[in-house]
Structure 1
C-alpha cells in the first residue's frame, strides 16, 4: 500500500512537473476604460494542499525553494500571456528575497519573452513584500540593471505599512499599486480620501502611475477617477481568469463619461489641436539624405518615415548623429536606407485622443524615448507631430483655467462653464433636460453642525448627483456647481424623471449619516421659522427642453425652473417636479404628479 506523499515530496513533484497554472486579472485605464494590462497570478494544482498561492509560496519560502517557484511562475506567466497588443503590460510578481538570490541571473526572462514574441517593455516587475527589503542600495542596483533593459518596476501594497512607503522613496518605481485596505469604501471615509490625495500628489510630482487594487463597486471606481488615479484593478473590472478579459460596455461608458464631466466645457483639447507639421521621408531614403537635412535645418529635432503617407518610423536628430559618430559610423551607415536607423515602433496616436491620455502614453515609454515626438494621424494617415513639451504645456494651461473657473469645494465646473454649456444646448435642435438641485434647510444644518460638516454635506450632494448621472451614463451629460447648495445637471437621457428619482434615492439613503446619531428636531427655514421637516432634504426642478422647432432662451429655462423650484419646496420631503418647455411655453405638470421618493423607494 502506497503511503501518502509528504508535503515536501508533493511540492517537489509540482516543481518537477511544472504543475502550476496562471490566471490574469485585468488592469483598466481610468482615462478611457481600455485594458491597460494584466497581473499574472499563480494557482497550484486543483484538489491539492498547495492550490492556494499563499500556502504555495509560504512553503517555498520556508523551505528554500522560493527562487525556483518564482522562476517557474515567471516563465509560465509569459508563455501563457494573453496580451493583445504591444501597448499592454504584464505585471509579474517578484518577492524581494528573489532579487538578491545569486541564481536570479540576467537574460533568463528575456529569452522566454523573445520566444513569446514580447519585449521587456511589456513587463512590469511587481515587488511584493513577503519579506521587507533591507538593503535598498543593492536593490536599486539590481533593479536599475533591469530598467536599463526596458523593464518597469511597481511597488505593491502601498498604504498597507511603513515598509512599502520606504520602498517607494528608495526605489522610485514606475507604478504604485495602492492596497485594497485604503481603497475599500474610499467614497465613504474622508481619512482614506485624504491619504489617497497624498499619493496622487506625490505620483504627479514624481511621474509615477497609480493603480488602485481591490475595486469592488462603482462608487469606489468613480471616486478614484475624480481624484486622478490612473488605473484600477479588482472584481468589479474582472476576476482572475486564464483567458482575455472583456470589460463591460457599461463600465467603459461610465469611465469615459466621468472624464467628459470633469473636462471643463470648451476646454477639452485633443492631441490634434496642438499638432505641428514635420518633414517626412520615404522608407527608401538614404541615411545620408536625412543627415544632410538635419545639417541644413538646425532647429529640426526629428523626421517621420512614411510609406504611402502612413507613418512607420521616427528618426530623432540626436540619436542619428550619435549613431553616425561611432567608430566606422559613416562608412557603415551613410549609404544605407533610413530603415536601418529609424525607430520602427514610435508612439502613433489618432488626432482625436485627448491630450491628457496621450501624455500618459508618452510618459510610459522607455526612458530613452521619453522626449521623442508623438506622431499624430488622421484616419490612419500622417497628420503631424507633437513634442512632449507642447503636451505638458497644454495640460498645465487647461488645468490652470479649470481651477480658475471651477468650484473650489467640489471641483465641479462653475458658472462660466455652466453658462457656456447651457447656451450650446439651448441653441441646438436637440431635446435635453435641465435639472436644478437645491438643498432645503441647509442654513439650519450649517448653523447647527458647523461649516466643516456643512462642506462635507455639499461634497456628498455633489458626489451622489455625479454617481446618479453615471448610473444612466450618457456621453453628453454635464454636472455643474452653481454655488452654495445649488447644482445643475444637463442631461440627454430619454427618461430624466428616473434620473431625478435616483438622485433623491441616493440622497435619502446617505443624508442621515450627517446627523451623527442626533435627532433632527427644531428644523428652521432661512427666516428662522420652525418647519415640519425631518432634516435636510433635496428639491429638484426638471425642465424638459424641446428645441426641435425653435431655440429656447436661457431666460425661459430659468423662469420655468424658478416656478418648479417654488412648487417643490412647498412640499414636505425630497421631491422633484417637472415641466415641458416647447417653443418657449412651459407646460407644468399638476402638483399631484410631484413624486416623493423616500429611503424605502
Structure 2
C-alpha cells in the first residue's frame, strides 16, 4: 500500500504503540438534568491516537488481540486523573465504561475500588460503573455478586445501550442498576415513531419498579428532547447539548430558557396552576455564609423548638441546607461538636440539596423529591426566582397535601369514561394559547351516526367506541408532544388544542387509523356490507353506514385577538356540520378546515 505506515497496515502494531505510549486521552460528554436545566454529570470517553483514534476501532482491536484488560485499565486510570484535575464539583456524577468481561475479571476488584478513586480525591458514590449491554455476560451469578460488592463500596451501576442487544433484561434482573441508559437507536427520531415512545414508556415504568433512573443517550434534536420530556425522562445526553470535549461543557442561557419553556407547557397541560408552588412557599430562616459558627447555630436550634432548618446563602442565592436531624448527627458523638463548633455553618450544610424554580409544578416537585437519597427524602426544598434568588422553602408535608388536592380536583374534572380532561381544562387551554400570542389550532371531533350505533349495538359497545376515539386522537397527536392537548367535552364530542403548526398529514392519519380500528366493533356481516339496519330519530327503520369520525379544524389566524374561549368552541362546533357532510359524501372519516375569519363583533 503506497504511502501507508506500518501502523495503518497492521492494527496490532498500532494498538501496541498506544499501550506502550499510554496513548489514550479522555474526553467528557455532559449528562443533563432536564428538571433543573443543568449539567448533572459526565461520561468519560476514551480516544486513541492516529491511525486508531476511533474508539470503535480501538476497542475492537483490543478485543481481537487479547488486550482489552490492559486498554480498559489505561482508560480508567486516565479518566480518574482527568476527573480530579478538570472537574471541581462535589455533586457531579462520573460515568466510566467497563465491558462485562473486564468487570468480571478476578483482577478488577483490586485494580478499581473505593481506595483507588479516593486517592484521586473522588468519592466512590460519585462514580457510576457503566456496563455495556452489547456483550453477552458469561456468568450472571458472578455478575450479581460483583455488582453487590461494588455497591457496598459506594459505587453506582449503570446498564449501557439498553434496548440494543439480546441480554438487557437478564442483566437488569441480575444487577438491578442505579441507572439504565437507553440506546440511541430508541431515541433517534422518537418524536416520529409512536412505537418507540411506547417502548420507552414501558422501560420508564420498569425502571421505576426496580428504583432505577433512565438516561436517554444520543439526543440530537429539540423534537426528540421535547418528546422525551413529555414521556417523563429526566436525564439526557447527546450532541444537542455538547460534543465530547477535553474540558467540562457549559449549558447556554438560551438552552435553559427553552427547556424551562417546555416544562411550563407540560405543566399547563397537566392542569396545574403555575403559581401553585409559590403559594406554599414560606420564608424560612436563612443565614449568610460566615454569619455565625456551628456552635452558635447549635445553641440557637437547641433553644428554639420550631427552628427546624436553615438555608445558607451566598448573597441572594442558596448554597446550603442545614436540617435539625442532619446537624444533630454531625455535632453529636464524641468528636462531632469539637470538630465543627468553631467552623462556619456552611461547612456543616448539605451542598447537594434540592432547589427548584418558583414556577415548578407541585406534582413535578413531588417526583423530584421522591428521587432523592433515603436520608434526604423528607428534607425541605429551597424555592428560587428566575435568577436563582432565594424565595423560601416548602416542606414535604405541604407538597404531599397539595398533590392530593390536585389529584382530587383533576379526578372531578376528567371524563370518567375516557379519562381525558373536561370543559374547564379545555377552556383554560384555549385561553393559554391565546395569551401565548403564537399560532394554534383547534380540532373539534365527534362521531357520525353514533346514536344509531348505540341503539343497535348497546351502550357497552358504545362506550368502547368512545374509548377507541379517545385513544386514536391521543396517539395520533402524540408525536406533537406537549403542543397537543386532548379533552373530552362529553358524549362523543372531543376537542384538541395544538400550539404551533398542525401538519395536515396528522389529520389524514387519524382518520385512517379510526376507520381501520373501528372494524372490530362491528359484526363481520356489517363490515362486509358497509352498514346495518337501525331505527332513526323518527322511529323509522333505515340503513345506517358504519360510524365515521369527523374533524373540524380551526386555525388561530382566522380568529380575532380577543374571542372568548367559549365563543371559539361554538365556532368550531358549527364547523363540524361541514365535516359531517364531507364524511357522508366520502363514506369514510374526514376533516375540514375553516377558511372564514371571525372577530369580537360577531354574536
TM range (shorter): 0.7 to 0.9
Corresponding residue for residue 579 of structure 2: 568
Unaligned ranges ≥5, structure 1: 587-601
Corresponding residue for residue 546 of structure 1: 560
Number of aligned residue pairs: give it: 561
Q: Is the 8 A contact 1:305 1:311 kept in 2?
A: yes
Using a 3 Å threshold, how does the CA distance of structure 1 residues 506 and 583 change in structure 2: closer, same or farther?
same
Using a 3 Å threshold, how does the CA distance of structure 1 residues 289 and 455 change in structure 2: closer, same or farther?
same
Corresponding residue for residue 597 of structure 1: none
What are the equivalent positions in structure 2 for 1:68-467 lying under 5 Å apart? 68-77=70-79, 89-100=93-104, 101=108, 102-112=110-120, 114=121, 123-129=127-133, 130-132=135-137, 133-136=140-143, 138-147=145-154, 151-159=155-163, 163-179=167-183, 196-213=200-217, 224-233=228-237, 237=240, 241-242=244-245, 244=249, 252=259, 255-256=262-263, 259-260=266-267, 262-264=269-271, 266-268=272-274, 271-282=277-288, 283-306=290-313, 308=315, 310-359=317-366, 361-362=368-369, 368-378=375-385, 379-395=387-403, 397-399=405-407, 401-406=409-414, 412-421=420-429, 435-438=442-445, 441=448, 455=467, 458-465=470-477, 467=479
Write out per-residue CA displacement over residues 159-189 of structure 1, whole angstroms, 9 at most, x where no aligned residue.
Answer: 5677533443454332222345666787888
Using a 3 Å threshold, how does the CA distance of structure 1 residues 33 and 142 change in structure 2: closer, same or farther?
same
Q: Is the 8 A contact 1:523 1:535 kept in 2?
A: no
Write out per-residue CA displacement over residues 10-69 of structure 1, whole angstroms, 9 at most, x where no aligned residue.
Answer: 322112333345555565556576655554444444443x7352x533443465533432
* CA displacement at 1:197 relative to structure 2: 4.5
Corresponding residue for residue 580 of structure 1: 597
Question: What is the rounded CA distance, in whole Å, between the counterparts of 1:401 and 1:232 in structure 2?
Answer: 32
2:58 to 56, 59, 73: 56
Unaligned ranges ≥5, structure 2: 537-541
Secondary structure of 1:139's counterpart equals helix
Secondary structure of 2:598's counterpart equals strand
* CA displacement at 1:278 relative to structure 2: 2.5
In the alignment, structure 1 residue 14 sits paired with structure 2 residue 18: yes
Question: What is the rounded CA distance, in whole Å, between the counterparts of 1:480 and 1:355 in structure 2?
Answer: 22
Using a 3 Å threshold, how does the CA distance of structure 1 residues 33 and 486 change in structure 2: closer, same or farther?
farther
Using a 3 Å threshold, how does the CA distance of structure 1 residues 17 and 413 change in structure 2: closer, same or farther?
farther
Question: What is the rounded CA distance, in whole Å, between the counterparts of 1:333 and 1:88 in structure 2?
Answer: 25
Using a 3 Å threshold, how does the CA distance of structure 1 residues 228 and 344 change in structure 2: closer, same or farther?
closer
Using a 3 Å threshold, how does the CA distance of structure 1 residues 585 and 276 change in structure 2: closer, same or farther?
same
Corresponding residue for residue 598 of structure 1: none
Question: What is the rounded CA distance, in whole Å, between the counterparts of 2:569 and 2:6 in structure 1?
Answer: 84
Question: What is the rounded CA distance, in whole Å, between the counterparts of 1:511 and 1:178 in structure 2?
Answer: 32
Secondary structure of 2:564's counterpart equals coil
Higher helix share: 2
Using a 3 Å threshold, how does the CA distance of structure 1 residues 24 and 461 change in structure 2: closer, same or farther?
farther
Secondary structure of 2:177's counterpart equals coil
Structure 1 vs Structure 2 CA RMSD:
4.9
